[in-house]
Every structure is written in structure tokens, then in C-alpha cells.
Amino acid sequence: MNPKYSISRRRFLRHSTALALTPPLLFHSPAYGSVKKKKLRHVSVGVGGMGRHDLQRISAHPEAEIVAICDVDENNLAKASEMAPNAKKYRDWRELLDKEANNFDAINVSVPDHMHFPIAYQAIEMGKHVYCQKPMCHDVAEVRALTAAAAKAGIVSQLGTQHASGMGDRTAVHWIKQGHIGKIKNVYLCSNRPGATEAYRYKGPRPATGENPPEYLDWDLWVGTAPMRPYAPTIYHPSKWRAWQDFGTGWSGDIGCHILDAVWKGLELTAPKSVIAKVQKSWEDSPERRADTWPQSNHITWTFRGNKHTASSELEVEWFDGEFYPPEEVRALFSLEEYPAESAMLIGTKGALLIPHTKMPVLLPAEKFQDVSFPELEERDHYHHFVDACLGKTKTESGFNISGPMSETVILGTVAIREPNQRLDWDAKNMKFPNRPSAEKYLSRNYREGWKLKDGEIFLL
């Protein structure tokens, strides 16, 4: 085993516990990249779906050069090569990192959640800058380790919460910190997107038998670190993998980082004290579904320590999706239009702030805040901002120093989902649930036997 690409439990805890309760501004976050070239040499791993969009946006930067692209699906690779005709093509990301090690400066990781960590971690160990799709990693332990690795390496990082760079989220952060609605009493997050249940939240069960994967798909590489299972069309690749515990993080894991981002930054939150989840009864009562898929509806509550932005010594942040909705009286505060299906609502001592996903925030009641002006903010593209940061021109909006602890909080919600109706007290420093140790098994995974990072296995918890 090559120790360069392994993490023992002792080493993992030594490098990660110091991050647990550190306020975001105290992290080491490189303000400027180390690339001193006219163009950023970039590689894209995962170029289908959101990965194709990521490639398109990064390649549109005039100072970005796409050196190589990689995907386990040859069809995705062929389509992406039309956007990057000069890029070398790879099926196996490990081969790409090995052969192109001296030819690129930055990477975007846009694959299913269960493969974020090994790809991003090895790139960081090589000193490469990393743009990683949300929710950063599949497991809490992976998020903690990747955050620590990025801080130690001093690389430029960016989480794929592209709307965090938009005018809406940045205005919301500004207004929260300005204290327009006073001290915050409650926060309600929701993602009740129409059609999402049918499109992404497959109930299962998986087929009793599989079939041969199509020739264009390397199924073994797609499964990667997860337990091997027979291929079946439509229910895993390309999009329904999110519904399976082995591959995705459920709806709250997938969208939670988007909805929480402005709240996290505006309130300057750190690790929660506890988390509890309610789920739909049909999933809770089904051992088969609980062992394999994520529920189609969740209500998660994190309790945070209060700070200068909160009205009391504790703050509850609640998440609603599927059949769970924010309380009717909260939704009634926004009476001019239909309540946004994906949004955050902050209730303060002097008013409320609604942050519709992808749109501009609204201070409520509107007549009370009609004289509040929008802050003067420059236009910003999340992807181009990452490229600029790698070129030493700026620093990123959602570096792992901030987005790592936030992602960890979101993924703690998925742990609570698997232990429904049980409050999990969180000892962030030691990564323990003192009141319910049985839930700690969900903080990490056992990677598939024989799966390696280059020439060394990864061990987490």
C-alpha cells in the first residue's frame, strides 16, 4: 500500500477534528491560485448531465483550456468531445490522472455522489485545484477528510452550488448580515419541486436479476467504490442513482446545499448540536426500502448553537421535501404569489426574509421594507470565478473551507433519515453521536473490496 494515497483512522482524525467547530473565516483558504500561466489547463471527469453543463461553462472562459475529458459512458464522451475537440478522451479517471498528471492544473468532478471523494481526494493530493459537484461527498467522513486535505494542500476549491455566486443568494447573505429582519428565530428550507419525485426518487425495488450493460457503458467503473450489483436499465444511470443509498444522498442531500447556502453564510453557522428526521410512513415501515433507497419525503431539523445573528441560544433550521411542507402560517407570509417550491424563509424579530431558489430575495412584509435598497454587487459566474481564482485573480465564493462544513451538516441529515424520529446529538470534534452510537455506522462506508486509489486503498472510519 502506498501511504500517499491512504488515510488511516488515526491520521484521518488528526487532520479532521480541528476543522469540526472552526468558524469558516478561521480556515486557511488560499485567496489566490498558484497557476502562473496564460491559460488554466483543465480536465473534466463526468461529462454527462450536470457534468456536460459544467464542462460547457468552464470551457467558455477565455483563459481555460480543456486538456482532457473522462466518462464511463462513451455516449457522454462523444457528445462532450464536440465541445472540447482537442481534449484527450478517457474512460477511467485513474488513467487520466496518471497519464495527464503534468499536463493539467484543475479538475471538475461531476459524477454520482459516491465517487466524488476518491477522484477529488487524489487530485488534491496531486496539488490540483478542484471544482466538485454538490453535496461534495457521499458520507460525512469523506466530507471531513476532503475539507482537511484541501486546507492542507492550499489548493483552490469550489463546490458546485452555482447559484451561490448569483445576485439572489449574495443579496440574501448581505441582508441577513445587515440585520434588516433583526435576530433570527427560525429558518425553514424546502424543496417541493413539481415532478421531482417521479423523475429522481425511485421507490424500488431493484430487479431480481440484472442484464448485461450496454457496450458503451463501463458498469464496473460506474459502480466504483459501491457494492457491485447487476446492471439494470433506467433505474441507475443516468439520473435515478440519486434514489439509491449506495450511490446518491437522496433529495435533501442533492438539493440541500443549494437551499442552505445563503442561510449558512449569512448566519455564519458552524456544526449543529443535533439533528432529527421524520420520513414518510410507507418508507419507514418497509425494511426493504429502508435498506436500499432513500425516502421520497423528509422533514429534517438541525439545532445549532446561537450566535450574534440569532434571537436565542439555539436556532432550529428545518428542511421539508416531498409530502412535507413548511407550516401554513410561514407560507402565508408570502401572499403576493404562490410560495416558491424551493426556497428558504428566515423569521426574525423584525420581519422575515424569503430566498426563492435562483431568484432575488424578498423582505417581508414588503411595505415595511420598501425603502431597503439592493446592494451593489458585481455580476459573477460561479464557474468563471473558479477559473479566475485558479489563475490567481480572486478567491472562490464556495471554497471547501466554507462549503465543507455546510455539506457535512447536510449529509448529517441523511444519517438522521436512516434513524428516523431519533434525535442524534452530534459531537463534531470526535465525529460521534454520544446518545446513539448505533447511528455512527452511517458516517462512512466500506469501499468495495479491491477498489483502489491509484495504488493504495482508502480507509476512513
Predicted confidence (pLDDT) per residue in 363-394, tens digit? 999 999 999 999 999 999 999 999 999 999 99
Q: Which residue has the higher pLDDT, 314 or 1?
A: 314
Q: What is the mean pLDDT of residues 97-124?
A: 97
What pLDDT band is residue 3 in, cutting at 50, 70 and 90? very low
Count Cβ atoms within 10 A of the Cβ of residue 300 and give its class: 0-12 exposed, 13-18 middle, 19 or more buried.
Answer: buried
> What percent of the chain has a predicted confidence (pLDDT) above 90?
84
Joined together, the cell numbers standing for residue 271 give 456544526
Between CA 398 and CA 278 the distance in angstroms is: 29
In the predicted model, is pLDDT for residue 353 greater than 60? Answer: yes
Residue 19 has pLDDT above 50, yes or no: no
Banded model confidence at residue 201, pLDDT cuts 50, 70, 90: confident
Range of lowest pLDDT (124-128, 299-303, 332-336): 332-336
Check pLDDT > 70 for residue 355: yes
Rounded CA separation 318/320 (Å): 7
- 3 versus 337: which is more confidently predicted? 337
- State the amino acid at position 299 in one-letter form: H
3-state secondary structure the chain: CCHHHCCCHHHHHHHHHHHCCCCHHHCCCCCCCCCCCCCEEEEEECCCCHHHHHHHHHHCCCCEEEEEEECCEHHHHHHHHHHCCCCEEECCHHHHHHHCCCCCCEEEECCCHHHHHHHHHHHHHCCCEEEECCCCCCCHHHHHHHHHHHHHHCCCEEECCHHHHCHHHHHHHHHHHHCCCCCEEEEEEEECCCCHHHHHCCCCCCCCCCCCCCCCECHHHHHCCCCCCCCCCCCCCCCHHHHECCCCCHHHHHHHHHHHHHHHHHHCCCCCCEEEEEECHHHHCCHHHHCCECCCCEEEEEEEECCCCECCCEEEEEEEECCCCCCHHHHCCCCCCCCCCEEEEEEECCCEEEEECCCCCEEECHHHHCCCCCCCCCCCCHHHHHHHHHCCCCCCCCCHHHHHHHHHHHHHHHHHHHCCCCCEECECCCCECCCCHHHHHHHCCCCCCCCCECCECCCCC
pLDDT in the model for residue 4:
35
pLDDT at 36: 55
Cell of 22: 472552526
Handedness of CA 288, 293, 295, 301 (dihedral sign): positive
Q: Which residues contact 71 (CB under 8 A, 6 or more apart)?
A: 45, 46, 47, 48, 51, 77, 80, 91
pLDDT of residue 58 exceeding 60: yes
pLDDT: which is higher, 195 or 21: 195
108: number of CA atoms within 13 Å, CB side?
A: 34
* pLDDT exceeds 70 at position 456: no
Question: Tell me, what's the pLDDT at 202?
Answer: 82
Q: Of residues 345 and 19, which shows the higher confidence score?
A: 345
Whether residue 204 is predicted with pLDDT greater than 60 in this model: the reply is: yes
Sheet strand arrangement including 64-70: 88-90, 64-70, 40-45, 106-109, 129-132, 157-159
- With a CB cutoff of 8 Å and minimum separation 6, the contacts of 146 are 116, 117, 120, 121, 124, 132, 136, 137, 400, 404
pLDDT classification of 33: cutoffs 50, 70, 90: very low
User: Does 454 score more than 90 pLDDT?
Assistant: no
Nearest residue to 188 via CA among 315, 336, 3: 315
Computed over every residue of the chain, the mean pLDDT equals 90
Given pLDDT bands bounded at 50, 70 and 90, which one contains residue 13?
very low
Look at 455 and 191; give whichever has higher pLDDT. 191
Q: Is the pLDDT of residue 337 over 90?
A: no
Q: What is the mean pLDDT of residues 249-255?
A: 94
pLDDT digits (tens, 9 = 90+) for 65-94: 999 999 999 999 999 999 999 999 999 999
What's the pLDDT score for residue 208? 85
Q: If pLDDT is split at 50, 70 and 90, which confidence band does 203 have? A: confident
